[in-house]
Amino acid sequence: MSMPPATFSIELRRRIWRVTLDGAFYGDYRSKRHAVESAEAGAQGFRAKGRAAHVQPPAEAKETS
């Protein structure tokens, strides 16, 4: 039986970009670019091992303090 695809999600919280993997903490980043790059690299690592992975792009959110 194959494993379900891994899902990396990116969300802005209090001026920090948070990346989660299947709902669990993966990393915090000060820039959107670094968060997206990290999620893409993580997904590529999963794909290299034969597992499906998806990066859910960040929603356009208003930044809060």
Whether the per-residue pLDDT at 65 is higher than 50: the answer is no
Least confident of 11-15, 17-21, 49-53, 57-61: 57-61
Q: What pLDDT does residue 59 have?
A: 80
pTM > 0.75 = yes
For residue range 30-63, list pLDDT tens digits in order.
999 999 999 999 999 999 999 999 999 988 755 5
Pairwise pLDDT comparison (11 vs 59), residue with the higher score: 11
| C-beta separation of 27 from 35 below 8 A | yes
In the sheet that holds 6-13, the strands lie side by side as 24-29, 16-21, 6-13, 53-56
Sign of the Cα torsion 8, 12, 13, 14 reads positive
Q: Whole-angstrom Cα distance, residue 21 to residue 40?
A: 11
**Cα end-to-end distance, the chain, whole Å:** 45
